[in-house]
Chain A
């Protein structure tokens, strides 16, 4: 979450010789990233979610007090607390809290004789710098201290709280409240709300006040209200209502429970000063949860081990102290504003080392033993296949993992919260999307070849889906046998034997596709190569042309031819014309020079076998 913090406001707390740019650089390198400097004064700071304490002028000032000295600048803490008022008077508030976990701390005070008017110029200017519209002196005080102290506050018109009674409870489903912005909100169950003596909802706690108890120009009695709410409920409610206010964003990150009373006192002090009012009640302070002081055992050696360099004890102690930690013997006490964030020695190490400066640590490559290299994946083979296909003229595609229903295929898993209808199912096949790509690019060229090498997601009962790597290939304007030949050549390149099964799909528009499990392909890759000793004898090459029928497959014929004699060294397809198939046969005798008499005898044998097995005859 980004906050706007003016440097000029920070100077209320810290006196320094650093300029605004020095401050921005110091914060970015040691605390929070400063994203922008507006008008040479306002810092836009990205505060990480663990550091709710950083969402205030006070929080950033605390960081500066630690960071600036480490950067060689001066930093003197100059802020004095507001003088504490006496709290007494006849105004009462009856409070019932249905469950202490809703509101771990509840505090309030009533101020009478308030004159509602415009705020002073400085207040208005500061609020405008941080993007908040000034409304009146009462509301402005609450906003001003939310920014300055990080403590969201609310002001009620005391007289609009019926019976001067508050019941803090969880909402029932369907209850309604009109909030300060005039919007009627229908509540789900479990939102923290306040009900008054007349049974009206008057506050959407931690998110926004109710319109019915708003401070207006006629208000004379104000109930100032500072709380700590259960961060989880605030977050859930604010999200389900779609109403993310500055207050909610702070409450859900956890506010400093120890600063509740000082904040209330400060706000009361300021409000009485600006409005001429006076305190007319006791200080109401109900504590539902007792926080125990948290402490961590200091381990200087561990800090050094994490840093990888020696950081002196004195520096460690001084840094932690400057950040508000208290060191007593071997124990480091965590300040209340870091209560949710600091738990273990690693957390303390981070505090010390970030202030020391990550830049100042040396850069070293890890030594030690190298990991045992166990090959578990097929990356090299994938690269080989991709390179081969690229050089064969293919475009490599990357498609989304999810596809629309019409491309999903049988049994495809459904995405529960798809981004849109095009991404509703996890794909079980790469082909539909590749065909879609061909279709979308139909004007590109007469002939287009595509492939994708990616996972598909196949449901498996009671477990994660199987996620095999598939090779999907699709092409248009490519002859069937050319397409098939590319796949066969790929097998050859990968060392996969030619009988690895695959199927070519034929689609409208002369489009061909093929999808092969790359995991299976890789499983048999490299097994196809056998060394044949070279021989000094020459081979004889001959063509034979036979008449084939449509019921015999090429591989059946090849099998007969190659198995006819050990001297049939190689058989390859040469041509087919109508029903005449020409094969090219290479004969080789590894023991002696083969002669044409020998080849004639083998050839006759081949024809005989082809005839007896499949009725195939030589073309005459």
Chain B
């Protein structure tokens, strides 16, 4: 079989140069590279040949194939550049691109990620502890005996399950502090824990939701002092709220810490001058304190040797304070109205 690939090449080239329209280019493609095109026919002819001849011609056909393909690709580009001279070409490029549909991560997920990011750099290890919990871990072991009025502050949900003689009732934990005891009982010291978990309280209004998230920091080591809590807070606030935000500790009272504090940051709206959204320039971030010796003991840790600090704040609250998102009703976070979710 004789094959003049050079003749095919020059003919193809000539035809290609004449074609200026995308339509005629397609015609060319079908003639040379199409299913019933010249190249296909040649390839099948070659496969019927004897081995010796096949080897020789096969190489030629392959070479022709790459030539044609390259020529075609080149022309495609030049056709596109010709397009530029078309009247609507400039406008066409100003049209919006055809975006793939991307979804939306929930605000709470976004906040949790940012919080975790800050703390992980300080060596805090993220954990998660049960939301449905024994009274013992949520209250009793946190230095809150059964009749203590401090328990009233937590509007607790109870689950219809039998009481355990030692661990008490089953509750939805109203805070992430149950994680303090559970973390301590693991017996691995020192501790730098970041517990981000679901909690529940019996309340629902524009500022409260029955399901919410808290993040709880716990550090236990030898010689941990208030200065360390302040250092960690400074790092958090600098990274999360920005370098212009100041903070302060105010005396407060929690059963599971001694001393106890409320942490305030300067109001993001007035910048600390004082306005109707804040108290004399400060807004409350949440509670913190030095772990009470009774809590360390309940966690199996000797308070004579070890000390620690802890804090536990609302994820949603911190997020809203930072972004200045003035979401008028916090319950929107759990309503899953797509018109709300699509905004984030």
Give A residues with C-beta under 8 Å from B: 24-25, 28-36, 48-51, 232, 235, 252-253, 305-309, 344, 346-347, 349-350, 353-354, 358-359, 361-366, 368-374, 376-377, 379, 383, 386-387, 389-402, 413-420, 423, 426, 437, 440-441, 444-445, 448-450, 454-455, 457, 464-465, 467
- List the A residue with the shortest CB-CB distance to B123: A370
Partner of A464, one of B132, B225, B250: B132
Taking CB atoms and an 8 Å cut-off, the chain B residues in 185-235 that contact chain A are 188, 190-192, 198, 200, 202-204, 209-211, 219, 221-228, 230-235
- Contact status B228-A350, CB under 8 Å: no
Partner of B227, one of A24, A307, A344, A390: A307
B259 at the interface (CB under 8 A from A): yes
Q: Which of A376, A399, A401, A417 has the most CB of B within 10 A?
A: A401
Partner of B170, one of A50, A396, A464: A464
- List the B residue with the shortest CB-CB distance to A451: B103
What are 11 pairs between A and B in contact, CB < 8 Å? A33-B262, A36-B279, A353-B226, A361-B227, A362-B227, A362-B230, A364-B227, A395-B342, A400-B211, A413-B159, A455-B131
Chain B positions within 8 Å of A50 at CB level: 253
- Contact status B149-A49, CB under 8 Å: yes
Chain A positions within 8 Å of B290 at CB level: 306, 346
On whether A395 and B225 interact (CB within 8 A), knowing A370-B123, A413-B161, the answer reads no
B54 at the interface (CB under 8 A from A): no
On whether A377 and B126 interact (CB within 8 A), knowing A350-B258, A416-B158, A449-B103, the answer reads yes
A374 to B221, alpha carbons, bound, how many Å? 18
Binds A, one of B2-10, B13-21, B76-84, B331-339: B331-339
Residue-wise, chain B 123-148 has the 8 Å CB interface mask toward A (1 for contact) of 10111101111100000000000010
Sorted nearest first, the 8 A-B pairs with minimum C-beta distance are A308-B225, A308-B227, A350-B259, A48-B253, A393-B101, A358-B249, A414-B160, A394-B103
- Contact status B221-A401, CB under 8 Å: no
Main secondary structure of the interface of B (DSSP, over half): mixed
- Contact status B210-A344, CB under 8 Å: no
Chain A positions within 8 Å of B161 at CB level: 413
- Contact status B198-A371, CB under 8 Å: no
- List the A residue with the shortest CB-CB distance to B113: A383
Chain A positions within 8 Å of B133 at CB level: 464
On whether A350 and B251 interact (CB within 8 A), knowing A305-B225, A365-B235, A389-B103, the answer reads yes
- Contact status B149-A235, CB under 8 Å: yes
Chain B positions within 8 Å of A390 at CB level: 102-105
Chain A positions within 8 Å of B253 at CB level: 48-51
CB distance from A333 to the nearest CB of B (A): 20
B150 at the interface (CB under 8 A from A): yes
Chain A positions within 8 Å of B40 at CB level: none
B106 at the interface (CB under 8 A from A): yes
A354 to B226, alpha carbons, bound, how many Å? 11
B269 at the interface (CB under 8 A from A): no
- Contact status B159-A415, CB under 8 Å: yes
- List the A residue with the shortest CB-CB distance to B344: A396
CB distance from B344 to the nearest CB of A (A): 10
- Contact status A354-B127, CB under 8 Å: no
Partner of B127, one of A346, A369, A376, A401: A376
B175 at the interface (CB under 8 A from A): no
- Contact status A33-B250, CB under 8 Å: yes
- Contact status A364-B231, CB under 8 Å: yes
- Contact status A370-B211, CB under 8 Å: no
B177 at the interface (CB under 8 A from A): no
- Contact status B248-A358, CB under 8 Å: yes
- Contact status A368-B336, CB under 8 Å: no
B172 at the interface (CB under 8 A from A): yes
Chain B positions within 8 Å of A414 at CB level: 159-160
A394 to B103, alpha carbons, bound, how many Å? 4
- Contact status B227-A363, CB under 8 Å: yes
Chain B positions within 8 Å of A454 at CB level: 198
CB distance from A457 to the nearest CB of B (A): 6
- Contact status B131-A467, CB under 8 Å: yes
B307 at the interface (CB under 8 A from A): yes
B321 at the interface (CB under 8 A from A): no
CB distance from A29 to the nearest CB of B (A): 6
B179 at the interface (CB under 8 A from A): no
Give B residues with C-beta under 8 Å from A: 100-106, 108-109, 113, 116, 122-123, 125-128, 130-134, 147, 149-150, 153, 157-161, 170, 172, 188, 190-192, 198, 200, 202-204, 209-211, 219, 221-228, 230-235, 248-253, 258-262, 279-280, 290, 292-293, 307, 333-334, 336-339, 341-342
A369 to B222, alpha carbons, bound, how many Å? 10
Chain A positions within 8 Å of B227 at CB level: 307-309, 361-364
- Contact status A346-B159, CB under 8 Å: no
- List the A residue with the shortest CB-CB distance to B232: A365
Chain B positions within 8 Å of A387 at CB level: 105
CB distance from B13 to the nearest CB of A (A): 29
Interface contacts beyond A377-B127, A437-B336, A464-B134: sample of 20 additional A-B pairs, CB < 8 Å, sorted by A:
A31-B251, A49-B153, A306-B307, A346-B259, A347-B258, A350-B251, A358-B261, A361-B226, A364-B227, A366-B231, A368-B223, A371-B188, A383-B113, A389-B103, A391-B102, A391-B103, A394-B103, A415-B157, A416-B160, A440-B337
- Contact status A366-B131, CB under 8 Å: no
A33 to B261, alpha carbons, bound, how many Å? 11
A369 to B189, alpha carbons, bound, how many Å? 9
- Contact status B210-A419, CB under 8 Å: yes
- Contact status B192-A371, CB under 8 Å: yes
Q: Which of A25, A51, A394 has the most CB of B within 10 A?
A: A394
CB distance from B233 to the nearest CB of A (A): 8
CB distance from A309 to the nearest CB of B (A): 6
- Contact status B226-A307, CB under 8 Å: yes
- Contact status B251-A441, CB under 8 Å: no
- List the A residue with the shortest CB-CB distance to B304: A302
- Contact status B336-A400, CB under 8 Å: no
A25 to B104, alpha carbons, bound, how many Å? 44
- Contact status B202-A29, CB under 8 Å: no
A48 to B251, alpha carbons, bound, how many Å? 9
A344 to B292, alpha carbons, bound, how many Å? 10
CB distance from B280 to the nearest CB of A (A): 7
- List the B residue with the shortest CB-CB distance to A365: B231
- List the A residue with the shortest CB-CB distance to B259: A350
- Contact status A419-B204, CB under 8 Å: yes
A239 to B150, alpha carbons, bound, how many Å? 14
Partner of B106, one of A51, A253, A396, A426: A396
- List the A residue with the shortest CB-CB distance to B233: A363
Chain B positions within 8 Å of A354 at CB level: 251, 259
- Contact status A444-B339, CB under 8 Å: yes
A49 to B153, alpha carbons, bound, how many Å? 10
CB distance from A615 to the nearest CB of B (A): 33
A455 to B173, alpha carbons, bound, how many Å? 14
- Contact status A444-B158, CB under 8 Å: no
On whether A467 and B338 interact (CB within 8 A), knowing A358-B248, A389-B103, A393-B101, the answer reads no
Chain B positions within 8 Å of A418 at CB level: 157
- Contact status B191-A371, CB under 8 Å: yes
- Contact status B104-A395, CB under 8 Å: yes
- Contact status B130-A444, CB under 8 Å: no
